Amino acid sequence: MSENETQAAGWYEATAVARPIRPRLNFELDVDVCVIGAGLAGLTVAREVAQRGWSVALLEAGRVAWAASGRNTGFVLPGFSEHIDDVVERVGLDHAKQLWALSEQGVDYVRRTIEETGMPGVDPVPGWLQVSKIDNDDENRAYVERLRWIGADVEFWPTQRVREQLANPRYFNAVHSRRAFHIHPLNYALGLAAQAEAAGARIFEDTPAVTIDATGVRKRIGTPNARVRAGHVVLAGNVHLGALMPRLAATLLPVTTFVMVTEPLGPALNEIVRYRGAVSDTNRADNHYRIVGGANSGGERLQWSGRMRAWQADPRWVARGLTADIWRNFPDLGKIEIAYLWRGTLGRTIHRMPQIGEIERGVWLASGFGGHGLNTSAIGGELVARGIIEGDQTWRLFAPYELVWAGGVLARAVAQGLYWGRSPGEQVRQGLSRYREQARIRKAARLTARNAAPKEPDQGAGEAVE
């Protein structure tokens, strides 16, 4: 855990609800289930196990949600990082429909948990708009129809409707997900922790798991000051499993993205960004944004994320790039002042699907949630808990997406190269779309002017009449 990763997570920490200081584990402990990692997946497992009456201990090397779970964009979206067409090609239509339904259940889980428990400070706001910077109406209309066939609640937005909500001439059509929403992810994680503890779970912070002996009926997990014995172990540590389980950590490609929150932007923000839901204008790591804040924080602000790196770069190195991205899309916002800027490192699998299930007897995995939104950590945690206690086999729907080595340092370089290399090609397509649109506008203007011009009398006809 680097020094920068342990620092306050910017805007989220500044607006976080109160949290207790949780103790280190310094005594021997025997439980039914031991969860390693207090991110959103691990917290969900602990909550669900405890609510079913089993004893559970959760070990966290830092503090609850200190890593990606408390630093992400806060988008709660149906679907997965893998394109749905590729999911259908790999597992078939019926199987793909079942996986999509699980992603929708993950969205419902987050929404229901917030509503039923009255979590403070989570502030859900409905809607997600996936905007195209290319004039590809037919392509996206067909995509919407395929999503509806899978079971998604989506609609197609034409260019005019998009630009009424987002004052950006670079934007064309969009896919609108009505069931998606965005939240304060750190406060949601803190709420999950409180709910888990209320149900009987025990959470230990500053308690890294350093060894694990998975042989036998009772698993043994070593920490710096004590040992835990458990019938089941759940690995929910993502890329931070590190030395504990190198084989699993090697299946994840660490991807670092950067998030900034502006100073309050005043009335201009509401005139330029009228849409209150979450917005993504790319399928890659940027740009994803939403409006946050309000009267209690001095005014509304724009939260903006992007500038993916395959290594943990200093956020200050990308500050200028992020503000340039905002200005390029919304120049009428004027000068952008950064109030908060931070990074978060997530784990992305090669097949772009989560890793969920029992990897050996009594050892469970809930990981690989990078790039999916917060629905997959929710449904992954619930499926693991059901699998442990009820013997539920639904998690096997993810079996086709096995553990695959992520390729190490070379794969990081390739991923970064692909990220940078695709940009010029995409920019050309975007530029051509804008050029064609302007050409259509000029042609329409010429036709209008020609039709409006007064017609000269027909001299030959006049002479004939005389």
The tokens describing 267, both together, are: 């009335």
- Unique residue bearing structure tokens 């149906």: 78
State the pLDDT confidence band at 426, using cuts at 50, 70 and 90: low
Report how far residue 308's alpha carbon sits from residue 415's, in angstroms, rounded to the nearest whole number.
10
Q: How far apart are the first and last CA of the chain?
A: 98
Is residue 15 within 8 Å of 297, Cβ to Cβ? yes
pLDDT at 279 (0 to 100)? 96
The CA distance from 12 to 184, in Å, is 7
The count of other CB atoms within 10 Å of the CB of residue 220 is: 16
Distance CA 367, CA 349 (A): 9
> Could you give the residue ranges of the DSSP H alpha helices within 118-245?
137-150, 159-165, 185-198
What are the tens digits of pLDDT across the range 442-465?
767 767 777 776 666 555 444 433
Structural contact between residues 239 and 252, judged by C-beta atoms closer than 8 angstroms: yes
The confidence band for 414, taking pLDDT boundaries of 50, 70 and 90, is very low
Q: Binning pLDDT at 50, 70 and 90, where does residue 406 land?
A: very low
Predicted confidence at residue 37, as pLDDT, reads 93
Q: Identify the band that residue 244 occupies on the pLDDT scale cut at 50, 70 and 90.
A: confident
Distance (Å, rounded) from C-alpha 332 to C-alpha 167?
9
Print the SS3 string covering 143-178. HHHHHHHHCCCEEEECHHHHHHHECCCCCCCEEEEE
State residue 12's pLDDT score. 94
Q: Is the dihedral of CA 357, 359, 362, 364 positive or negative?
A: negative
pLDDT in tens, 55-102: 999 999 999 998 888 888 999 999 998 889 999 999 999 999 999 999
Compute the distance between CA of residue 219 and CA of residue 180 in angstroms, rounded to an integer: 39
Task: Give the model's pLDDT for residue 434.
Answer: 60
Percentage of residues in the chain having pLDDT higher than 70: 83
328 pLDDT higher than 80: yes
Query: What is the distance between the alpha carbons of residues 457 and 227, in angstroms, rounded to a whole number?
Result: 101
What's the pLDDT score for residue 172? 94
Residue 110 near residue 374 (C-beta atoms within 8 A)? yes
> Per mean pLDDT, which of 252-266, 380-394, 439-453 is the most reliable?
380-394
The closest alpha carbon to 403, from 358, 455, 445, 343, belongs to 358
pLDDT of residue 216: 84
* Top-confidence residue, 400 or 127: 127
Q: How many residues does the chain have?
A: 466
pLDDT of residue 185: 95
Phi-psi region of 150 (alpha: psi -120 to 50; beta: other; left: phi over 0): alpha
Contact 78, 107 (CB under 8 A): yes
pLDDT in tens, 98-155: 999 999 999 999 999 999 999 999 999 999 999 999 998 999 999 999 999 999 999 9
Task: Dump pLDDT digits (tens) for 20-67.
Answer: 999 999 999 999 999 999 999 999 999 999 999 999 999 999 999 988
Q: What percent of the chain has pLDDT over 90?
A: 61
Q: For residue 242, what pLDDT is reported?
A: 66
pTM attached to this predicted model: 0.86
